[in-house]
Structures are given as structure tokens and as C-alpha cells.
Amino acid sequence: MTAPFTLTRHRAAGGSLRAAIRRDGALYDAAGLLGDPALAEIPALLERLASLADAILTARGTPLPPQRPEVPVPGSVALFCAAANFSDHMLAMAAKLGIQPEPDPRTLDVKPYHFLKPARQCLAPDGASIALPTHAALIDWEVELAAVIGRPARNVSPARALDHVAGYLVANDLSARDRGLMKRVNVPDGSLFRTDFIGMKAFDGACPVSTDIVPAAFVPDPQALEMDLSVNGTERQHSSTARMIFTVAEQIAQLSTRLTLMPGDLVLTGTPAGTGAESDTFLKAGDVITCRIGGIGTLTTRIG
């Protein structure tokens, strides 16, 4: 299904980033198209999306000139990432690390588990060139479906959680594996210094995302999307969101028991098997990563 319209941001003449609508191949300033200055900010557009859908489809306006891709949400949003949510990835990583595979979290009544990335530093647009961090050498890829929050969510049930999702993006959760559990051999297993989560997950450009938010109304089932990732044209990951341990709705519901999710916040929902860590294959300068999720879009990143 091709979305009748998508949401993104464009760079105005003065350099500011404003909410934009892509429709029929043309890009429009959202506030100008809909006649409401408050819609210049993407969180405001996301929060009112359901009531604006008809107007977005019919409003007349002047298209913007061609623009380079921009990150569709501001750096002020929160960026939540599932630590593990595909059993095949968990099994492959356990084998690589030489540890016992974990049992199905559901059998232990374990809830979805997330960590944070700082959005201002980590978000990068489609087509970006990401510099290899100087503090690490083993940089890995992870294709993920990102849910974009549209309405504040606090203590919502799984049955109602998707009502708070405005749309979806493709994301690549880049990771510095040698700052995690794999190589810190001089640190005791029980030490709080065993894992450098900032070093592993939060370097500059560590979360490229696709340009256009596909509204949730045009995604019939977020648990039925094909996803794949290639490096230099060679397929490395191929799976489906149907194989998630916890659904998108369950993840959002759990996060909402901890804090209020706000419009524009992103929830990255996990990656399947096929990461570089599983085969000791890591990114190097010049590599091109292409992530694709059916019905959502494509994301291309070059390693600089």
C-alpha cells in the first residue's frame, strides 16, 4: 500500500526546520498548506494528525522546491530502543558470547526492556555519511521499525497503545560492539563498568532514520512488515516484524507505565538476526548500508 501522504520536515529560507507534507510527489510546508501557523512544528502536526487527514488530502498549496532529506523529528524528542526483541538475534548473540541462551521472556513474566539514545546527537537523515567513532572499532548495524508517538501516552493498555502512534519510520540502531559486553575482558563480570552503554549506543550519528513518517492509518498491521538490511549490496538481515517477541503495542504500553511518551518520541522496536557481531563482520569506511521495511520506506547510510 502506497501512503496517500507522508510527513517530514523541510529547511526554510532562514534555515529553520519546519513540518512538511509530501503528497503526490510534491512537498508542502504544513503550516502554509493547512493555514495554521501552529503546524510549523512536527510534534503539533503529529498530535493533530487524525483530525487533519482529510484537509491534508484536499488542501491546495504551492509546492516547495526540491530539498535534501532531513530528520523528520527534532532533537528534543526522546529516543527509546528495545534492547532485545527478536529471539533469533538473542540466540545468535548468546552463541557468539559463549553464554546460555535466555529463555523466552514471556515464560518468566519479563516485560519489554528499552534503553535511551540522545536524539540530538544520534539522529541522522537518510543519505547521511556517518563518521566512524574514534573510541571504537567494531561498528555494527541493526535495521529496526520505529514507531512515532502522536498523542501523549501514560499508563495505556496494549489494546489502546497503537491509538497513540502517529506513524512509522525505518531506523538503523548503529552499535559499537567493542564498548559493550564483547571485548571488555579486563572488567569483572559483576562490575557496573562492564558495559559502556553510552560508548556502545550513543555516538554521533548512531541512529539514522528515514525521511518520511508514514501515517499509522496507512499501515494496516505493524506486525506484518518485511524488513531487510544490506551492506554494499549483500543482504545481511531479512525478517518480519511478525517475529518480534513483544509487539509494538506491548512495548509502548510498557514504556508508558514508566513515563509519559510525547508527540515526536520514537520507539525503536528491535532487530532480527544477521547483525555483524554474529559473524565478526563490522562496518568500515566507504561501506553503504541500505535498510528497507515494506510499506514504510528505505534508509541509506554511508560510513565515512
CATH number at residue 243: 3.90.850.10
Distance CA 211, CA 9 (A): 8
Indicate whether 195 pLDDT > 90. no
Q: Are residues 12 and 150 in the same domain?
A: no
Q: Are residues 42 and 144 in the same domain?
A: no
**What are 58-101's pLDDT values in tens digits?**
999 999 999 999 999 999 999 999 998 998 888 887 887 778 87
Q: Are residues 37 and 179 in the same domain?
A: no
Domain that holds residue 28: 5-58
Classify residue 65: in a domain, yes or no: no
Classify residue 244: in a domain, yes or no: yes
Q: What is the mean pLDDT of residues 275-293?
A: 96
Distance CA 60, CA 42 (A): 20
Q: What is the mean pLDDT of residues 102-128?
A: 92
Q: Are residues 54 and 97 in the same domain?
A: no
Classify residue 71: in a domain, yes or no: no
Given this model, what pLDDT does residue 164 score?
99
Average pLDDT over the chain reads: 94
| Rounded-to-5 percentages of helix, strand, coil across the chain | 25, 30, 45
In the chain, the percentage of residues whose pLDDT exceeds 70 is 98
Distance CA 148, CA 196 (A): 27
Indicate whether 142 pLDDT > 90. yes
**What are 202-229's pLDDT values in tens digits?**
999 999 999 999 999 999 999 999 999 9
Alpha helices in the chain (DSSP H): 30-34, 42-47, 49-58, 87-97, 119-122, 158-161, 197-201, 248-256
Q: Are residues 258 and 185 in the same domain?
A: yes
Q: Are residues 132 and 253 in the same domain?
A: yes
Classify residue 155: in a domain, yes or no: yes
Indicate whether 231 pLDDT > 90. yes
User: In three state form, how does the secondary structure of 65-88 look?
Assistant: CCCCCCCCCCCCCCEEEECCCEHH
Classify residue 138: in a domain, yes or no: yes
Q: How many independent structural domains does the chain possess? A: 2
Burial 285-304 (b: 16+ CB within 10 A, else e): eebebbbbbebbbebbbebe
Q: Are residues 194 and 96 in the same domain?
A: yes
